[in-house]
Chain A
Amino acid sequence: MAARQYVARRIAQAILVVALVYIIVFFTLFVLPGDPIENKLTSPLNPLPPASAEALLAYYQLDKSPIEQFAITVGRLFSGDLGYSLVSGRPVSELIAQGVSDTIVLAAMAFVFTLALSLAIALTTVFAPWAALRNAAASLPIISISTPSFLIGFLLLTIFSFQLGWVSSIRDQGLVSYILPAATLAIAVNGVLSEVLIQGLRRARAEPFVTVLRAKGTGEGTIAIRHILRNGAIPSITVLALVVGELLAGAVVVETVFSRRGLGFVTYESVRDQDTPVILIVVILVSTVYVVINLITDLLYPTLDPRILRHGAKPGGAPAARPTRRQKVTA
């Protein structure tokens, strides 16, 4: 009963955050500096035909007060109308739909690469038998964080497409075409996850229970994988949402580097053209993904760590043990 209440509260909180994102981004983009939509639509540089511009001016009802505009936009949102691009005049939903599948595949592949890479780096850093290898692996997370994704992208492109010719930079080769951009994202984004995993593994390895396991004759491999990895990896699930968010934001740069036409490219163009209705929807989409993943990992936490269940079931309030754990990792 109490657990169900907790789940309901967490869901309500997540919805509130998405709603607040919408409100803040809407007012930042639509209202704050002058009349961006009007300026854009009436600008002589806009490629949009004058008739469409007129229609969109009428559609956005810019003569109304900001609050009224907001109400109208939200009303349309609930009826499935995401607005229209100020540059092409096409519905935002259409633009998004066009790019989203490509980016989902890219992000999914990049996510898998990120997990694999982080795991490899963390396990090497903590368990590799040679100190030199451990130290080398330990410096990879900072390198990952310090290297801009466009550099990684161009390096991979230069080496594997231009020099070695393994992957075409122009032809669409299905899934193969995703490998380089996905690898670029994974290399650029894994730093945080690797770092949290390394810290988790180091902490778990120092726990007294490892001595007891050793003393009862458990093999080192079993200790490392079944016990240290399981205990040490739990905190890192709290950064998964962050990783996915960074992957989606990174797609803006990476799709530009690799000339792909996904959601990232749509974002790039809409920012370039100050096409605010498109930007608004992209941001909401990305932040919803972040919030949902965060919600899922939060609700999943108790099933992974039995110590949390007790607190999660406590009536009236967030679990006592969880905030401290999360603080350790993310705060």
Chain B
Amino acid sequence: MTLFAPDFPAPLVVDNLSIGYRRRRRGPIEDVVRDVSFTVPHGSTVSLVGQSGSGKSTIARAVAGLLPHNGDLTAGSVKVVGRDVTRYSASEWRPLRGSSVGFVPQDPLSSLDPLQRIGVQIAGALNQASIPRSEIPARVIRLLEHVGIRDARARSRAFPHELSGGQLQRVLIAIAIAADPALLIADEPTSALDVTVQKRILDLLDGLREELGLGVLFITHDLALAQERSDEIVVLKDGVVREQGPADVVLVSPRDPYTITLLSDAPAASPDRYRDRVRQPGASAREIVSVTNVTKTFGGRAKADVATRALDDVSLTVAEGSIHALVGESGSGKTTLARIVAGLTGFDTGTAVVKGRELPGHETYANPFARTLQLVYQNPLSAVDPRYSVRRIIEEPLRIHGIGNAASRRARVGDVLDQVALPSTVLGRTAREISGGQRQRVALARTLVLAPDVLVLDEPTSALDVTVQAQIVELLLDLREQHNLSYLFITHDLGLVRQIADTITVLRLGSVVESGSAREVFSNPQDGYTRELLDSVPRLQRRSEDAAFVSG
């Protein structure tokens, strides 16, 4: 900021800002953000970091003038390129849009009008910037090229559904920079994208920031991403700033206890957190799951030309008592493979054996392997009957299998509830009435009640905040030790894999590109794709003396 004289005001200055929402019409305004101050200078990135409910997105919306009708700035001020916009009305905001503030949204797939060609939508942003009509088509093409869209002329005629998520985010960035703004607000711009795509999009944003001297306000829940991509960091919790300062100070030597917890819970920050609990694959361990040369085609085998091959000659083994991570980006086939192992999806060729019994290879209605292997769903809320109380949810498997009488089932439910560390007060509630972390514990309890040997975990923590995620991971490790469980763990989070996996299989476009001991794959990846994947994962730089503190 000192580089620029007062006639070059900073793109964004936020001073003691409080933001509130009216929960009911004519009700009182309740503050959700209190007393937040920060400045985004030219050419630099400021990150707002926090878990859900921290108010980071509310701040992003507020400084972009995009708060919903029931929201309002209740105290403090916001200055955009020197203009005080705190009390701006919608019509006062309009001339600033595009030309002063660009906005990159969270979900690229639904952020463009599905009925308009993307060229038209970019032109819409240029129209606002009073650029002569005759120049617009050429400018659209230039913008698309600028954000790295190949074959821009043809692409400008495409509809949004014809583009991939990464391409759509590029188009949205093109829209955001179309009218040469000074400030770019990026609200979790890559949370819906694969990690390799994320890296490319963030590289693009960084390049544009340097080239155009943009100030970037970056909203993220990912600490590693924040450190890697920003100059300054603001850590938020429940609408209040807990810590702020230069990125390599705040995240390298944090002072606030909340930041310290966040860091220790983030898998990327503490790859060795569970080092003593990871097991090296021993030659003696028996195989409990083995998949051999499995091929799966969707769309029917008869029409080979239209069918898509989801899995091509895939093999993997899970040793008894181990955690085997199945890693891959979207379209890799990891979920299909998980469902095959769980007996929920049939396959065309190959064999799948679970604890010595071969799977039938076609879908069955009632799962004959229920007491051996259980699947834990990604979204526990949709995986339990919304009408059921927690007690009925956990008891259901016992009823289905006719195990015990009412009293013994009750006792068993109580046992399992203890194992997943849930209070008995949740028993009478439905899944909607408990928290996300509790729901995943209930889902785990429901599978444990049958005492299975293997759990297939389909991204069990991806919807959870890091702190809750860390608690669930801890629980999973405890349960494995208590019951000698084996896990097939499906995830896209390589940081988490690095923490807990014993062995690993990397899938890409339905084929195995690499597999082996997790430690070896991480330290010495053999395949080019694995290397790209690992390079794309943002890393936290820690001082060596802090590392001991974190893993201890």
Which residues of A are in contact with B by a Cβ distance under 8 Å?
Answer: 131, 207-209, 211-220, 227, 230-231, 234, 304-307, 310, 315-316
Contact = CB atoms under 8 A, between A and B. Distances in A.
Nearest to A210: B113
8 closest A-B pairs by beta carbon, nearest first, are: A217-B97, A215-B103, A217-B128, A216-B125, A306-B159, A217-B98, A208-B111, A307-B161
B25 A215 contact: no
B111 A211 contact: yes
Interface string B114-145: 11100000001100110000000000000000
B159 A209 contact: no
B243 to A, nearest CB: 29
Contacts of B175: 212, 216
Contact of B113 (A220, A231, A304): A231
Contacts of A220: 90
Nearest to A315: B306
7 contacts: A211-B105, A217-B125, A217-B128, A231-B114, A231-B115, A234-B115, A306-B115
Nearest to B110: A208
Secondary structure dominating the interface of B = loop
Contacts of A315: 303, 306
Contact of A218 (B110, B111, B128): B128
Contacts, number: 82
A262 B161 CA distance: 48
Nearest to B109: A208
B322 to A, nearest CB: 40
Contacts of B114: 209, 231, 305-307
Given A131-B25, A217-B99, A307-B161, 9 more contacts: A212-B112, A213-B113, A215-B98, A216-B175, A216-B178, A217-B128, A307-B114, A307-B159, A310-B161
Nearest to B117: A306
Contacts of A208: 105-107, 110-111
B128 A212 contact: no
Chain B, interface residues (CB within 8 Å), range: 35 or more
Nearest to B158: A306
Interface string B144-172: 00000000000000010110000000001
A215 B111 CA distance: 11
Of the candidates A218, A234, A316, the one having the most CB atoms from chain B within 10 angstroms of its own CB is: A218
B97 A214 contact: yes
Given A220-B90, A306-B159, A306-B161, A215 B110 contact: no
B115 A305 contact: yes
Interface string B413-430: 000000000000000000
A211 B103 contact: yes
Nearest to A304: B115
Contact of B66 (A131, A211, A218): A211
A216 B124 contact: yes
Of the candidates A207, A208, A216, A305, the one having the most CB atoms from chain B within 10 angstroms of its own CB is: A216
B157 to A, nearest CB: 11
Secondary structure dominating the interface of A = helix
B64 interface: yes
Contacts of A214: 66, 97
A218 B94 CA distance: 8
B25 A218 contact: no
A215 B161 contact: no
Contacts of A216: 97-98, 102-103, 124-125, 128, 175-176, 178-179
Contacts of B106: 208
B115 A212 contact: no
A215 B113 CA distance: 14
B101 interface: yes
Contacts of A131: 25
A317 to B, nearest CB: 10
Of the candidates A213, A215, A230, A310, the one having the most CB atoms from chain B within 10 angstroms of its own CB is: A215
Nearest to A220: B90
Nearest to A212: B111
Contacts of A217: 94-99, 125, 128-129, 179
B173 to A, nearest CB: 11
Contacts of A316: 303
Contacts of B101: 215
A190 to B, nearest CB: 25
A254 to B, nearest CB: 37
Interface string B309-331: 00000000000000000000000
A313 to B, nearest CB: 12
A309 to B, nearest CB: 9
B282 to A, nearest CB: 48
Interface string B5-23: 0000000000000000000
A304 B159 CA distance: 13
A306 B158 CA distance: 10
A236 to B, nearest CB: 15
Nearest to A218: B124
A215 B90 CA distance: 11
Contacts of B98: 215-217
Contacts of B90: 220
A215 B124 CA distance: 11
A217 B123 CA distance: 12
Contacts of B94: 217, 219
A207 B175 CA distance: 17
Contact of B110 (A207, A219, A230, A305): A207
B97 A209 contact: no
A130 to B, nearest CB: 12
Contacts of B64: 215
Contacts of B107: 208
Contacts of A212: 103, 105, 111-112, 172, 175
A213 B111 CA distance: 9
A218 B172 CA distance: 15
Of the candidates A208, A212, A315, the one having the most CB atoms from chain B within 10 angstroms of its own CB is: A212
B178 to A, nearest CB: 7
B450 to A, nearest CB: 34
A209 B171 CA distance: 13
A131 B64 CA distance: 26
Contacts of B115: 230-231, 234, 304-306
B306 A215 contact: no
Contacts of B113: 209, 213, 227, 231
